[in-house]
């Protein structure tokens, strides 16, 4: 969650002992902040369990964000990245030793100012900093019987396997690309696309991590220029071949630390 925004984000979990996805410890570049956390049970109908969410990722398993997701009332999808968290200051519910997990925000939790902060639905109200986790993520830091627990959390670097992934959709009138598996700070601040018969075309954020431009680039190999949240820019040339089709996903270069 962002301190100034009562938001909710689903997040991917990865612990230090897990091989995929994210890095703990020295990857942190923020001080610990205080917040609270709850979780969504696996059998409940919810974007955390059903895939999708406000960041536009769709099926989280396809994009390797998996079932270890969570949400928080701080970040928007335009500024999500990876976050390390641990349960603190609650002997009854926190796991011994305060183990940590790392999550990637994939959704947004809107405020509900009609409900008190202590009532479910009011936890994302400003100025609270709240994370709503998947059950799998929550059980890495707290006991299942817990309702809401105090946590510490901080931004950390994202350590992704492979390159950024570009899923292309659109029509004859526009091109849209969903960018996933972003390393470094995990953020995408700007995107440009280039066909073999065009110059670089700036893309605007449609919603979440979907970027769009009003151009028909069918039949052209596509290159992408991606700028991360810290200003680093990577150019992935000819990511998609000339015979690409809508709904296909291609892998390109990765943002460096």
17 in a structural domain: no
> Do 100 and 222 belong to one domain?
no
Instruction: Identify the CATH number of the domain in which residue 187 sits.
Output: 2.60.40.760
> Do 135 and 34 belong to one domain?
yes
12 in a structural domain: no
> Do 122 and 175 belong to one domain?
no
pLDDT computed for residue 7 by the predictor: 32
pLDDT band at 171 (very low <50, low <70, confident <90, very high): very high
Domain boundary among 137, 156, 175: 156
pLDDT computed for residue 187 by the predictor: 82
256 in a structural domain: no
51 in a structural domain: yes
Cα distance between residue 130 and residue 226, in whole Å: 30
Are residues 204 and 213 in contact, defined by beta-carbon separation less than 8 angstroms?
yes
235 in a structural domain: yes
pLDDT computed for residue 92 by the predictor: 94
235's enclosing H/E stretch is strand 233-240
Helical residues (DSSP H) of 45-159, grouped into ranges: 47-50, 135-138
189 in a structural domain: yes
Closest-CA residue to 67 (of 85, 94, 46): 46
Structural domains in the chain (count): 2
The pLDDT mean for the chain works out to 75
> Do 200 and 118 belong to one domain?
no
> Do 87 and 200 belong to one domain?
no
> Do 152 and 184 belong to one domain?
no
> Do 76 and 185 belong to one domain?
no
Domain boundary among 112, 139, 156: 156
pLDDT computed for residue 10 by the predictor: 39
pLDDT computed for residue 224 by the predictor: 98
> Do 150 and 244 belong to one domain?
no
pLDDT computed for residue 57 by the predictor: 60
7 in a structural domain: no
Domain boundary among 156, 177, 202: 156
pLDDT per residue over 67-99, tens digit each?
Answer: 334 443 333 343 457 788 899 999 999 999 999
pLDDT computed for residue 58 by the predictor: 57
Radius of gyration of the chain (CA): 19
Instruction: Identify the CATH number of the domain in which residue 84 sits.
Output: 2.40.40.10
pLDDT computed for residue 93 by the predictor: 95
> Do 149 and 235 belong to one domain?
no
pLDDT band at 177 (very low <50, low <70, confident <90, very high): very high
Question: Which residue has better confidence, 109 or 249?
Answer: 249
For the chain, how far is it from start to end, CA to CA, in angstroms?
23
110 in a structural domain: yes
Tell whether the model's pLDDT for residue 50 goes beyond 50. Answer: no
> Do 136 and 214 belong to one domain?
no
Range of the structural domain that residue 213 is part of: 165-251
pLDDT per residue over 120-170, tens digit each?
Answer: 667 777 777 888 787 888 899 999 999 889 999 888 888 788 999 999 999
> Do 31 and 148 belong to one domain?
yes
> Do 79 and 187 belong to one domain?
no
- Three-class SS state of 208: coil
Are residues 7 and 109 in contact, defined by beta-carbon separation less than 8 angstroms?
yes
């Amino acid at each position: 969650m962002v301190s100034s925004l009562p938001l909710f984000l689903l997040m991917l979990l990865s612990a230090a002992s897990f091989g995929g996805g994210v890095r703990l410890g020295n990857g942190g570049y923020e001080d610990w902040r205080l917040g609270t956390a709850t979780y969504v049970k696996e059998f409940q109908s919810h974007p955390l369990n059903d895939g999708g969410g406000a960041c536009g990722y769709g099926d989280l398993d396809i994009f390797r964000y998996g079932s270890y997701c969570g949400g928080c009332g701080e970040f928007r999808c335009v500024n999500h990245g990876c976050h390390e968290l641990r349960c603190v200051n609650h002997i009854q519910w926190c796991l011994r030793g305060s183990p940590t997990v790392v999550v990637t925000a994939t959704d947004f939790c809107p405020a509900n100012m009609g409900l008190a902060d202590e009532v479910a639905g009011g936890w994302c109200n400003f100025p609270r900093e709240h994370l709503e986790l998947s059950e799998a993520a929550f059980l890495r830091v707290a006991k299942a019987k817990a309702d809401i627990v105090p946590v510490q959390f901080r931004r950390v670097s994202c350590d992704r396997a492979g390159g950024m992934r570009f899923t292309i959709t659109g029509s004859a009138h526009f091109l849209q690309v969903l960018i996933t598996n972003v390393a470094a700070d995990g953020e995408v601040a700007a995107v440009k696309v280039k066909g073999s018969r065009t110059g670089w075309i700036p893309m605007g954020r449609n919603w979440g991590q979907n970027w769009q431009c009003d151009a028909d680039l069918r039949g052209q190999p596509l290159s992408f220029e991606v700028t991360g949240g810290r200003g680093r820019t990577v150019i992935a040339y000819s990511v998609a071949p000339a015979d690409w089709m809508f709904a296909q996903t291609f892998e390109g270069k990765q943002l460096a630390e």
